[in-house]
Each structure stands twice: as C-alpha cells, then as structure tokens.
Structure 1
Amino acid sequence: MRIPVPDEILPADRLGRVHCVGIGGAGISAIARIMAQQGVVVSGSDDNDTPFLPALRELGVTCHLGYDAAHVADADTLVVTTAAREDNPEVLEARRRGLRILPRSAGLAAVMAGSRVLAVAGTHGKTTTTGLLTSALLAAGRDPSYAVGGVLSATGRNSDAGSDDLFVAEADESDGAFLHYRPHAAIVTNVEADHLDNWGTEEAYHRAFEEFTDTIDRDGFLVCVLDDPGAADLARFARDAGLDVVTVGESADADVRIHDLSLAGSTSTCRVSRAGADLGELRLRIPGRHYVLDAVAALAMGLRLGCAFDALVEGLGGFTGTGRRMELKGEVDGIRVYDSYAHHPVEIRGDLEAARALAGAGRVVAAFQPHLVSRTRIFGEAMGVALGAADEVVVLDVYVAREDPDPAVTGRLVADAVPLPAAQVAYVDGLPAAARALADRARPGDLVITLGAGDVTTVGPLVLALLGSA
C-alpha cells in the first residue's frame, strides 16, 4: 500500500495515540518501540505473532493478532507498513474517520525529530552497517537512538531511544523512504539497481540516491564505499555538489583505506589507514569482505564524529551480527545451519563467499526463496547464476509480498539458471519439502544456509530437527 508522505511531519509527541498497522515487522516495530519509550500511547496489529512483539508488550504496547476496524479504537494517527493491502480494514476505518495516516517513512521521521540523524543507505548491507555503527558508537561512549532492520546482537533489540542527540537509522530506498529523513550525515554502502517495481528503471533508481545526497545537511557529510562503482559515482556527484565526502575501501584512492585483508573462517582482519597514516588493526567476528567494507564505513563515520579509533574498533570487533544476517541457527552432528536475508544476486554471491570461508573443507548446501514477483522476473536468472557458488542448491517458489502472483514467474526461473549438474539442484514445493531436501543432502562438516527475505527463515530450525531425529 502506498501512503503519501505529508508535507509536514509532526514530532511523535504531537501525534496523539498511535496505532501501527503491521507492528510485527522489523521497521514498524522499531518505530513503535521508540514511540513507547518516548511516552506515546501505542497499539498495533499484525497477521503474525513475530519475535518483535514480546518486547513491545513488555513496554505496555497492545499488539493485536489479525486486522479489524475495531482495533483502531481511539487512535489519532495510523502508521502503516508498505506491505498492507489496499483493503486493510484498519486503514479503511482510519480513512472513514479522517484520521492522520502516515507511511513507515513518516513514522520514523516523527521519532527522529530533533535528533542529528545518521542515515545508513545502500542497495545491500544497510541492516548490518546500521548495527555496526550503533555498536561502535556505544563502545565509544555515545548513547544514540537507533532503528535497525534486525535484532542487534549487542542489545537484543531492533531499536531504542537513547539519551544522546544522535539517531542511527537504516534508510530504506525501496519505497523512497530515505528521501524524507534530512540526515546530518549518511553512509551509502553501494548502489546497484533493485526495487524496480517502484523505481521503474535503473536510471531512476540511481537518481533517487542522488536526491538522497541532496537531503543531507550542508554542514554534514557523506561516507561512500569507493570499491562499489555505483557508490563511487555517487561520491563524485556529491562532491561536485559541494558536500563533504569521505570514501572508504581497498581502493588506493580511498580516504579511509583497508590494507592486508585476511578472511579466515568466521574472522576477518585488516589494517586501516587514513590519509596514508596507519591507524591500527580491525578484527571482526563476522565473515566476508562485504562485511569488512560495511565495518570500515561505520568506522569512518565514527572517526568523523570525533570518536576514538580504539573504542570504535572494540565495538566493531564485538559485533556478532543482526538477526537474519549470516545468523547461526544451530549445529547437529557437525552440520552447521545458518540463515541470511540475502535476496538480490549481489547479496547471494557475498553471503555464499562468506559461507565458503566458514565451511572450510566442508561443502555449502544452500536453499533460496526468491522474494517478490517483480524482482524474480528481472533478476531470476542472475539469482540462479549466483547460487552456483554453492555445492548443492534447493530453490523454493517465489515469496509473494505486496504484489499479485504471476504464473509465468516462479522459482523455476531461478532453479533452471543454476550452473550446477541437475542432480545438485532441486526445485521444491513448500517449506517442509525444502527442509527435507537440505537434511537429505547435508553431511557432517557441511554448512547449510537458507537465503531469502521471506519465510524461508523458518526452514533452518526444521532442518536441525530433522538432523537431530535421524
């Protein structure tokens, strides 16, 4: 559902009683939690009793299961997820009563009012980088508010209202939300076409990031990963527009540069220099080059804010991830099971590279659930090619969200493009079948990983149960 952003976004304490449609999702639950901590009376509804809801209930937030016009009750404002259907009874009731209705982006802007916003944007890596930056700032003695698209390992929560004037926010470009935040500073991890169901063309998608840089305070700054061509182009655009830009990466031209990168199992290590001067070592407990780039972007922002290098790297070194980002679900008989949110070809490649490092001498057995009909139509073949980095692949059908199904666009588009022998690729129907296929293929020493932004996240525990009962 597309809800227009109002010309004036009121601070959260002026919204009255707030009801959140889709409160179980990562984004809306984060907003609801901070509103409740700020003293706003909050309620909400969702189809599913998600892991975010118990913490909200502890704060006194009423969380209904299922949507009903009666849940709107005495609300003054609705904050609505983009996943809501046009016939959602709570939204229809709010419209009938003439209530204020805000999209997720405006809800987040409302809780950020009065803060110095540090926005983390990019096609990939937003959640991890937001978590890394928050962890680094906490270790450096700051107490920022934050809203992350997953559970932060350091706190066990996806958001909090801090005492600092800083607000670390994951800035989502999928629906244009990031154009409404007016950040003091921002990180852009990468820019590679996605969400073309909203933007239409690759050119329009890139222009949206250029518009995003125009929303940054002129006395603020932008951090870009120079190793990514899209982010490098954006850095040049922003500098030409007069914005202070800090570049990071392995590139010799980067302002904050990575040297001597070593990836070994679950550990990533490198040296970091700034303007040619060695700052010291960065050691991470998360695998993969893409995560190192995310961490150095967070480090560069912390340094630019005046935080000490040693404190920042301590916070980064203690970071063990966010939910659904290379998250270890368990181990049975030497078979480790991980889950990741990867749903774009670039993300699939990056996480399978990390999985390969973690697997060591073992094989990588991957299950992938395509997310969105439009994304699968555009990138299905590239998704399949990226999955070829695994040793065994299980593909599910498309997880349909925000769109109607298309019988011509199925997971078969992905499965047929995987460049492995047919015996090593399975196209299955349903989550239980995917779990069984993974359990049948896995051997001691292997690493099993489930990939996708839909309900494939539930497959890992099913696999562990099957392995444990074998």
Structure 2
Amino acid sequence: MANDISQWSGKRLHFIGIGGAGMSGLARIALSHGITVTGSDAKDSTVLSALQALGAQVSPEHKASQVDGADYIIFSTAISAANVELVRAQELQIPVLTRAQALATLMSQDRSIAVAGTHGKTTTSSMLTVALQSCGLDPSFAIGGTLTSSGSNAHKGTGDLFVAEADESDGSFIEYHPNAAIVTNIEHDHVDFFAKPEDVTKAFNSFAATISQDGILVYCADDAGSAALGRNPKLRPDLKVVSYGTIEGSDLYIDSINLLAMGSTARALWKGRLVGTLSLQVPGLHNVLNAGAALAMGLALGAPAAELLSGLASFHGTGRRFELKGTVHGIRVIDDYGHHPTEITVTLEAAKRYAGDGRVLAIFQPHRYSRTQAFMKEFSTALDIADEVILLEIYAASEKPIPGVSAAQIASAMENGQFIPNFFEASDWVIENAKPGDVILTLGAGDVNSLAPIICDGLARRFNSPV
C-alpha cells in the first residue's frame, strides 16, 4: 500500500465515487501531480465534466471492467461493499485505499494541517487556507466545501503546507498523521458509527495521538469537549498545545465581539499582546471562533498576524455554508448545510440577525434516520428558533429506514413546524407566503439545496421581479 506520493508516479489511480466532494478533490490533486486518474460515479454531473477537462477518464456508471489495469483503487465510504468495481478490485487483488488513506498519501511530502471537529471544520479549513494564501504561502488544500473565492474544493499549491479537512464520521481521520491539527469542538454525532458520546471522545484522543513528533494541537477553550482534549494530562509532552476562544487565558483570546447582520468584528490578542481587529464577512459567533482557530494556527506556524487578519477579512465563505443564492423583491434565499441541532441553532440565530425585522422561513431536511432518532427533541427545539419551518422527509444517505422514525415527529413536537414531504409543495408554500424582508433558508446535508434555485425562480414569477 502506498504511503508516500512518490510511489504513485507512473501509476493509475481509479476512484470509485469520484463525483463526491471529497473524492473529486483528491482526484484533482492527483492530476496536478501528473498521476493518471480514472474513476466512476453513479450518475453524470458537472464535477465529472470538470475532472474530464483536467485529464481524468471518468464514467457516469459503475462497471467491473473499469478497474482492470488500475494500480490502486480509492473508494468513498458511501460505496457499498457489494459495488461491482470494488468486488472486481478485490478479485484482482488490486490494493484498495479509503479516501482517508489516499489523502494521507497526497499529504505525505508536505507539512500537513488537519482541521477536525464535529462542527465547523469545512469553514475553519477554508478560513485557514485563505489566511495562509494572504501570507503568500500558497498551501495545497482538500476541503469538504467549495471556496467561494476560487470555486474549488482542492488545489495543489506551490508552498510546503497542506490544509486538509479531517472527517471524524467513521474514525478514519487517524490515518492522516498530520504535523499540526485544529479541533474546533467535540460533540456526539454520527450515531450510526459512534454509539455513545464517549466513543467520539475516544476517537479524538486517538486522532491527537497521531500528530507528528513536536507537532501542534490547536483547541477551542469555549467548547467543553475540545478543551478536555487540549488539557488532557495524557497528551504527549512534545506537542505544542495552543488554545483559542473567548475564555480569558486562551493563547488566542477574542473579546470586544460585535455581531453584525452579515459579519462581525472582534479584538484578537495573542499570548496577551494585541495583534489586531478580526473583521469577518460571514455571520455568527461560531464563525468568530472558527476564524480564531485559523488565526491561532497561523500564528503558531509563525505567519504574520497582519496578513492572516487581512486574509480572514477577505473570506467570503464556502458553498452551502450560509450561502446567499439570490434576492428577489427584498426576499433573501440562503442555503446551508447544517444538519445537527447545534449547527441548526447557530445558523438560525445568524439568520434571525440577518433578517432584522423580517421573518425566517426554513425548509429543513433531516439527514439520516439514526441521527433523527437520536436527536428528535433537540431538532424540534433548535428549529423553533425560526418563524416558520417546513419539514421534508428524512434523507436516508446510505441507511435503511428505521420503522417509526419520520420527520413528521419533529414537526409535531414544534410550535412553528409543519410536515410537507413533497419538495414542490414545500417550495410552493414558502414562495406563496414569503414577504419582502423575509429570509428563506434551505437547510440540511441531503439534496434540499436543489430547492433554492426553484424558490428563487418562483419568487421572480410571483413578483415579476428579476433574481
């Protein structure tokens, strides 16, 4: 099995599930290294077309013969063990790598920074990337969302840093062995894999133990789980441990926070010394903390504070993270990936601030039956922050339905919720009921984002107004 990217020189990598956000990014970086890339996905998409334009040979269907002649197979955890290409690869005894193992190999020649946490890792890794770019360091990056500034989720930079989003959902982030790591927060999620909260804690402790000798661990002092990790007396003594947050005594201390409708400002102090004003164009206290994580890591790496702050000030967000999709007749349509009660709470609080005197109308699609069952009460409480909420049925992802578990149960426990499982009826409801000044939010990790352009078009027809 490859563990150094030099071993892939002259080899052919075949990606099963190449159209996914994470997999397509790895394929893009492999192509940048001059490695031959082939791949397949269950359907055609613009992602496949873009990879094809970069030199990959891709197919919009899975066929066993497509792995013949490949030197390594890389597969997404969303791929079934019964997938015909995966089965064929095992028959031919072609080395099979998970996405995490492949990413570890791609990072092997760089100083790698892994950004982990139950929430905020996509935004934080994006912020760190933009901040380092502002310093002229041109890092490579592989992120779970698309950077608004570049329109890409992955890039092979000219510098020796590599920023990677570290997904904890299946415990595979222990494969990365980074030189430095950020842990934004630790909370119970991915209940299909982590049965109990302590299982999540154990996984993050294992992740911290993989950081390289004399490496850096940046943790959030405001989050109980992350703080417990950073202050764990069993951490290796060689690690440089750095804290950030609004808690006095944090290495990167943030105070004088002013939350605005679509941004914020705050004062940043590094080890007691004022380094400047943190100005953001993305809303919410959670994003102030995400920016604090990026700033703390940049400073710990020795990057100049002024350039880091300048980069963070220029950050416009990532795809599906409070992303403005259109404004019609004073009605703003926002799409967001939030799918855990904690994420929904901070997103809806930001949306209420953004709406001002207007209302927040949300369409929420729960993601996975197991998560819905585990956090039913928490979902209903979080969603009631909005003025009106439409509940779509659960997006199963790779799960089989759990008898008796439905989004209708969340709606029935809410004051402001109603269950409308049909996508077109749900979008018609918000189109007909929205008023100028309102904010419409499509919310969830499934395919609810497909409604945002439909809603924009419907509002344009209703008000005879351009998007």
1:87 offset after TM fit, Å?
2.0
For structure 1, the 5+ residue unaligned runs are: 1-5
Q: 302, 319, 344: which is aligned to 1:306? A: 302
Q: Residues of 1 paired with 2:74 and 2:422: CA distance? A: 32
Q: Any idea what the Cα deviations from partners look like across 1:379-431, whole Å, max 9, x if unmatched? A: 1221121001100001111101121122311112322232x2xxx42211232
| Partner Cα separation in structure 1 for residue 67 and residue 6 of structure 2 | 18
TM-score of the superposition, structure 1-length normalised?
0.95
Among candidates 157, 163, 167, match of residue 158 of structure 2: 163
- 1:54 is displaced (CA, Å) by 3.3
The residue aligned with 1:425 is 417
Match of 1:3 in 2: none
Query: Which amino acid in structure 1 is aligned with residue 198 of structure 2?
Result: E
In structure 2, the residue matched to 1:133 is 128
Distance 1:12 1:367, change over 3 A: farther
Asked if the contact 2:412–2:418 (Cα under 8 Å) also holds between the matched residues in 1, the reply is no
What residue in structure 2 maps to residue 388 of structure 1?
384
Q: 1:376 Cα deviation (Å)?
A: 1.0
Aligned residues: 460
Question: 1-side partners of 2:290 and 2:413: how far apart?
Answer: 30
Alignment partners' CA distance in 2, 1:179 and 1:185 = 13
Give the C-alpha shift of residue 36 in structure 1. Answer: 0.6
Structure 1's 331 and 49: CA in aligned 2 closer, same or farther, altered over 3 A?
Answer: farther
Q: Residue 349 of structure 2 aligns with which residue?
A: 353
Match for residue 240 of structure 2 among 240, 244, 256: 244
Whether 1:47 and 2:42 are equivalent positions in the alignment is yes
- For residue 3 of structure 2, the aligned residue among 2, 9, 30 is 9
Q: Distance in 1 between matches of 2:401 and 2:22?
A: 24
Q: Which amino acid aligns with 1:55?
A: A
Distance 1:245 1:91 in 2: 41
Pairing 1:29–2:21 present: no
Q: How does 1:84-233 map to 2 (within 5 A)?
A: 84-233=79-228
Residues 196 and 205, structure 1, Cα contact 8 Å, conserved in 2: no
Distance 2:384 2:298 in 1: 37
Is residue 185–residue 220 contact of structure 2 (8 Å, CA) maintained in 1?
Answer: yes
2:442 aligned partner, one-letter code: T
Q: Indicate the SS of the match to 1:287.
A: coil
Alignment match, 1:292: 288
Q: Which residue of 1 aligns with 2:465?
A: none
Q: Could you tell me how far apart the structure 1 residues matched to 2:54 and 2:7 are? A: 17
TM-score, normalised with respect to structure 2: 0.96
- Offset at residue 240 of structure 1 (A): 4.8
Are the structure 2 counterparts of residues 225 and 239 from structure 1 closer, same or farther at C-alpha, using a change threshold of 3 Å? farther
Q: Is the 8 A contact 1:12 1:40 kept in 2?
A: no
Counterpart CA distance in 2 for 1:238 and 1:77 is 40
| Post-superposition offset of 1:217 | 1.6
Task: Give 2:138's aligned amino acid.
Answer: D
Matched residues in 2 for 1:358 and 1:73: separation?
A: 53
Shift of 1:433: 2.3
3-state SS, counterpart of residue 150 of structure 1: coil
Instruction: Check conservation: 1:146, 1:169, Cα contact below 8 A.
Output: yes
Q: Cα offset for 1:232?
A: 0.8
8 Å contact 1:257–1:274 — kept in the other structure? yes
Distance 1:304 1:64 in 2: 43
With 172-181 and 68-77 compared, the bigger mean Cα shift is at 68-77
Corresponding residue for residue 437 of structure 2 = 445
Three-state SS of the structure 1 residue aligned to 2:310 is helix
Is 1:372 the counterpart of 2:368? The answer is yes
Choose the corresponding residue for 2:230, options 231, 235, 243.
235
Structure 2 spans left out of the alignment, 5+ residues: 463-467
Partner of residue 453 from structure 2, selected from 461, 464, 468 = 461
